Amino acid sequence: GTVGLAYFGTPIGWRMTPGLAWKMYCGEFYAPIAEAEPHAGHEALARLEKEKFGAEKLCVVTMNVDGFHTRAGNANVAEVHGTVERVRCAEHGKFPMPRTDDPKKVRCPTCNKAVRPDVVLFTEELPEDEWVRATGAAKALGVNDVMLVIGTTGAVYPAAGLPEAAIRRGVKVIEVNFDESPISSSVDVFLKGRAGEIVPKLVDMALS
């Protein structure tokens, strides 16, 4: 709920009450994601990377923090809002999230100090390394390339600006979305429906 989000969704909550923030984060946010699995759309994009383009030519840029693209098998993933699959220490950087719901066990393996999830909290800026990777991949696309825009509202910036810039440069843009977004009228192809149903079909066509 709103109270829980105030504890684990803001930097203040993690600084002031880290134990409570971990408890609420694990119970209300992390546990449901950890128990879920990537769907057929995630798996299809991983197959497209492995069987056709390779990680050098296919980069997945995601605003989701569930880590599903990496779990499905994609190697080149720019997680611009971070991921629940990692935590970070202020002194020693990032490391995998331990599979535990006991906040006392989530400590830095180097200094044993408290850590926090490697996700972007409210009021925080995007991680520079992930954003540089995302913008670099988008800028590398030319008029003979394709950008897939999948399941986004198209309203969360700065990430929403990536397909807008690609459209202006003449990149072919295909949008797969359950509802129309602000860029739907400008893309080359708009496919209405669920990503888990449409993306596998697109990948099958690309691999045929």
User: Beta strand pairing status for 82-89 and 93-96?
Assistant: antiparallel
- The reply to whether 42 belongs to the active site is no
Q: Using alpha carbons, list the distances in angstroms from residue 140 to 47, 83, 166, 171.
A: 22, 24, 10, 10
Helix then strand then coil, % of the chain, to nearest 5: 40, 20, 40
With 0-12 / 13-18 / 19 or more C-beta atoms within 10 angstroms meaning exposed / middle / buried, residue 82 is buried
Residues catalogued as catalytic:
81
